[in-house]
Structure 1
Amino acid sequence: MTLVRHCRFSAIDFESAGAARGKTDSPVQVGLASWALPDGHADPFVSYLQTDSPIQWSARKVHGIGPEQLKDAPALLMLWPEFRKRMAGAVVVAHGKGTEKRFLRAFPGHGFGPWIDTLLLARAAWPHLADHSLGALCESHGLTNAIHTLVPEKSWHDALFDAVASLVLLAYVVESHDLADHPVESLLQPDTSRWHQFKRS
């Protein structure tokens, strides 16, 4: 049984090209960052990613990434040493982990995990909130300035900014709910039953 205070957490976020009809989506940027008690935030990494898929207008409208940023960018598979260094042995964090887990299938048998989904964690912690998107949660709890301090000159839908934001949100949940001395397993499958009740009402 490992306590939260003894874990290293590594967050990951991908921005994507957007899925065209009948095509598979692909990542165009990845951000990685770490957080631990009591060391704090560390080890940020961000990179654009080479893709053969055209960036859809709907995706570019969200993240602002175009072909000009991807010129000379590495392919995802070339970054395996960075992923292994930052994520091996860590508890992996993402907000709505489905996209991140899907893109990591590029590394078969990578073994990263266990995973904490801060979307599910936030729904369990604050089931009454109407909006559990990462930006809305950080705004409602006054966390956005702290994120800007850690990741200056970046903003929402930059992969590094969003990765750091998920860690800032996780740290806030741990602090506000006094979870540092709880088993990390308590964060892996949070009880979202009250959120489902609010959603149905």
Structure 2
Amino acid sequence: MPLLSDTIGGLHFAAIDFESAGAARGETDQPVQIGIAACPRLEDEPELWTSYIAVEKPVLWSASQVHGITTEMLADAPSFPSLWPEIRSRLGQAVVVGHNPATERKFLRRFPGHGFGPWLDTLALGRMCVPGLADYSLSSLCGALGLTCSVEALLPARRWHDALYDALASLLIVRFLVKELNLSGQPLDVLGKAVRT
């Protein structure tokens, strides 16, 4: 597990995003898609992986309007537990990156004792390093940093609210800010409140 005292330039980073089925009040939400974009070192080419995830209840219309995933699209998708070995291999020993990753952390808690982390929140990182934006959504932050074209170039057939597209965007934000602010030789804890254990 990476330590807060480890040098940023020597760390493995893996950004994760989930899209969900949505849930009525009092019901448990479930993931419908996972995307992971990882780099053994930040300057390396991102390794990209994504999968749809089988659901036990139908995808809500309101959720489908956001990400475009329908219940029918998940008919042959693997179960969430069956994806565990792939998830573990991609997130293990990495600084795990997410944009306001409460949902990601919640879904991963279904695998007790996974021990992933520390976590780097690109929402908090954006607020710390790019003050004054009207909003800090993933698309707005990428737009402000001039990264949208880079995400599109690597994933031309995808869009915002696709789990892999959003995960890649988060990873590219970290890469850009580390390079621009010359943080590669600094310890991870220089990122302060953006890092959670």
Q: Same-fold call, TM > 0.5?
A: yes
Q: Which moved more, 1:33-42 or 1:157-166?
A: 33-42
Residues in 2 aligned to 1:162 and 1:84: alpha-carbon distance in whole angstroms: 19
Amino acid at match of 2:159: S
Q: CA deviation at 1:42?
A: 2.6
SS in 2 for 1:132: coil
2:182 corresponding residue in structure 1 = 178
- Work out which of the residue numbers 18, 24, 28 in structure 2 matches 1:14: 18
Residues in 1 aligned to 2:41 and 2:160: alpha-carbon distance in whole angstroms: 25
1:197 corresponding residue in structure 2 = none
Superposition TM-score, scaled by structure 2 size: 0.92
Q: Does 1:135 align with 2:139?
A: yes
1:194 corresponding residue in structure 2 = none
Gap change, CA 1:188 and 1:27, over 3 Å in 2 = farther
1:96 corresponding residue in structure 2 = 100
Q: CA deviation at 1:151?
A: 1.7
Task: Say whether the 8 Å CA contact 1:5–1:36 is kept in structure 2.
Answer: no
Task: Say whether the 8 Å CA contact 1:116–1:188 is kept in structure 2.
Answer: no
Task: Percent identity, please.
Answer: 48
Q: Which has the higher contact order (CA 8 A, sep 6+)?
A: 2
Q: CA deviation at 1:75?
A: 0.9
Superposition TM-score, scaled by structure 1 size: 0.90
Q: CA deviation at 1:127?
A: 2.3
Residues in 1 aligned to 2:98 and 2:192: alpha-carbon distance in whole angstroms: 12
Residues in 1 aligned to 2:72 and 2:192: alpha-carbon distance in whole angstroms: 39
SS in 2 for 1:55: coil
Unaligned segments of structure 2, at least 5 residues: none
Q: Does 1:4 align with 2:8?
A: yes
- Provide Cα deviations, 1:90-125, integer angstroms capped at 9, x if missing partner: 110000110000000111100111100000000111
Task: Say whether the 8 Å CA contact 1:115–1:188 is kept in structure 2.
Answer: no
* Matched positions, count: 191
1:1-201 pair list within 5 angstroms: 1-37=5-41, 39-187=43-191, 189-190=193-194
Task: Say whether the 8 Å CA contact 1:33–1:41 is kept in structure 2.
Answer: no
Q: What is the aligned-residue RMSD (CA, Å)?
A: 1.5
Q: Which moved more, 1:37-46 or 1:52-61?
A: 37-46
Task: Say whether the 8 Å CA contact 2:13–2:94 is kept in structure 1.
Answer: yes
Q: CA deviation at 1:147?
A: 0.6
